[in-house]
A and B are shown apart, each in its own frame.
Chain A
Amino acid sequence: MKLMTMWKDALESLVSSPATEKYPFQRLDAPDQLRSQLHWNLEKCTGCALCAKDCPADAIEIIVLDKKAKRFVFRYHIDRCTFCGQCVESCRQGCLQMANDEWELAALSKQGFDVYYGDDADVQSVLVGTTPPELEAAAD
């Protein structure tokens, strides 16, 4: 039976520096395993959309412009993403990867949370909501 069993801790804490970090002035390196923003590689994608089917947060959309010509646009909603990494596991072609250092994703407006990956012209056509002219001609 003692009194003040933690007096040593109290004295040590008086002279030691704080245990917390001075973020954002001091920024620690993220561990290699950390899951942050998702990246998509168009080259390998077959458009199977298994990543979108397995996403628990509905954060992935694969917009198929032309399956044969492998013209896909990958719409990624960062604000919905829970960074579980299931899409990376589900992808059999290995075209999805999560960066480990892009974790400062907070923003003041909602725009910017929709990230588009894919060919620039295709992304543009998805953004303005039109079908690219060459695909329209093929449909005719």
Chain B
Amino acid sequence: MQVPIMPAKGEKFIIPIGPQHPALKEPGHFEFSVDGEVVTGASLRLGYVHRGIEKGTEGRNWVQTLYLLERICGICSHVHATAYCLGVERLAGVEAPPRAQAIRSLVAELERIHSHLLWLGVAAHEAGFDMLFMHSWRDREIVMNLLEGLTGNRVNYSANVLGGVKCDIDARQTDAILAGLEHLEDRTRHYLTVVTSDVMFLRRTRGIGVMTKDVAEKLGVVGPTARASGVARDVRLNAPYAAYDRYPVELITATAGDLEARFIVRVQELFETYRVIRAILADLPEGELTVRMPRRIKEGETISRVEAPRGELFYFIKSNGSDTAERVKVRTPTLPNMASVLTLAVGHQLADMPMILAGIDPCFSCNDRMIVVRDPAGRGAHWTWDDLREYGIEYYR
């Protein structure tokens, strides 16, 4: 029989959550210290799904790296490829033709619809509102089919190629996209009503996880999470890339900073996305889809920023003049947003933790870049493959 260990007076009671299934179906380890049901402190450990992607780029040429980086995220794969392509094109001193840039923005916005609808479903599921989850995912199929018809795949679209895009758009596809958007706009209007008026749902979102503008600025949060706290931050506006200077986006912000505001900002962003897609389709520049790219990229380094559905995505690319990147550094929006989860957790009920976590739309496997093995004694050490293997066997014995 196992005897429960009760904490002594004044001692913290810690609830570990994860790494398996910490509310979402991705691994991360949280430790919440609680006083009864109220969280008094939180800590986080990431790195369970580190895939060595940055190291992997060193053994691939510029073209192959594109497809590796596209697979960092299964939901926002296109923005990763776009960030990389824009950076490499800048290093090489070439610019993709206007039609290619417009198609890049078009696919990015379609992807934003798919990502926000997916998030809406997941967040509703965390709140126990599975009806909204299933209906938003059913409607998401419409945009998945549009993406498949346009690029040739439902996920990992491979629309980008260094120096342009692969897929062109014709009148039939334009009509299909416009018809799909019309239906989605109706549905989105309905979802906005649901998330702002359903009393059961509002109990889980209104006034929960409030982040003021000051805190948001201090933590450096990005994307819809920051915009829900009134921070005017959107790379599409602050530093337009691809075709966003031709088709400007309007900033969607809210001031409440709670979970409800995060729902409102994301759902309202969908309307803005529909408007931008229609603007792109109405005024698509004619011309070539690609320009010739050199096999070897000039020596130099650059940064590339794009607005992923979850927030600012940052790439650092360094070339040494060969056909392989010397260094590619990726920072996904989940990392800055994760700090807000730990800050906001304090003072809330333990049952609100899944919702607060889902509120930032986290993507653990996109975020995990390295593993730090913490040695309590602070010694540094080099481990060989045999050492690691032995450690693994001993650990699980």
Contacts and interface: CB of A to CB of B under 8 A. Distances in A.
A56 B64 contact: yes
B322 interface: no
Question: How many A residues touch the partner, as a band?
Answer: 20 to 34
B352 to A, nearest CB: 20
A57 B67 CA distance: 9
A1 B158 contact: no
Given A6-B132, A54-B63, A56-B64, A85 B166 contact: yes
Interface residues of B, number: 34
Contacts of A31: 148-149, 152
A33 B151 contact: yes
* Best-surrounded residue of B61, B63, B167 (most CB of chain A within 10 A): B63
Contacts of B70: 84
A74 B148 CA distance: 28
B68 A2 contact: no
A3 B151 CA distance: 41
A21 to B, nearest CB: 10
A85 B131 contact: no
A84 B162 CA distance: 13
B152 A85 contact: yes
A86 interface: yes
Interface string A8-20: 0110000000010
A2 B67 CA distance: 47
Contacts of B153: 34-35, 83
Main DSSP-derived SS at the A contact region: loop
Contact of B67 (A3, A10, A56): A56
Nearest to B134: A13
B150 A33 contact: yes
Nearest to A57: B67
* Best-surrounded residue of B68, B150, B151, B201 (most CB of chain A within 10 A): B151
Contacts of A9: 131, 135
27 contacts: A1-B197, A1-B199, A2-B198, A2-B199, A3-B198, A3-B199, A3-B200, A5-B194, A6-B132, A6-B135, A6-B194, A19-B141, A31-B148, A31-B149, A31-B152, A33-B152, A33-B167, A34-B148, A34-B152, A35-B152, A54-B61, A56-B68, A83-B153, A85-B152, A85-B166, A89-B161, A100-B152
Interface of B: 60-61, 63-68, 70, 131-132, 135, 138, 141, 148-153, 156, 158, 161, 166-167, 193-194, 197-202, 290
Given A3-B200, A35-B158, A56-B68, 12 more contacts: A2-B197, A3-B198, A5-B194, A6-B194, A6-B198, A34-B153, A55-B64, A84-B67, A84-B156, A85-B152, A85-B166, A86-B66
Q: Which 9 A-B pairs have the closest CB atoms?
A: A56-B67, A33-B152, A56-B64, A5-B198, A31-B149, A84-B158, A54-B63, A35-B152, A5-B194
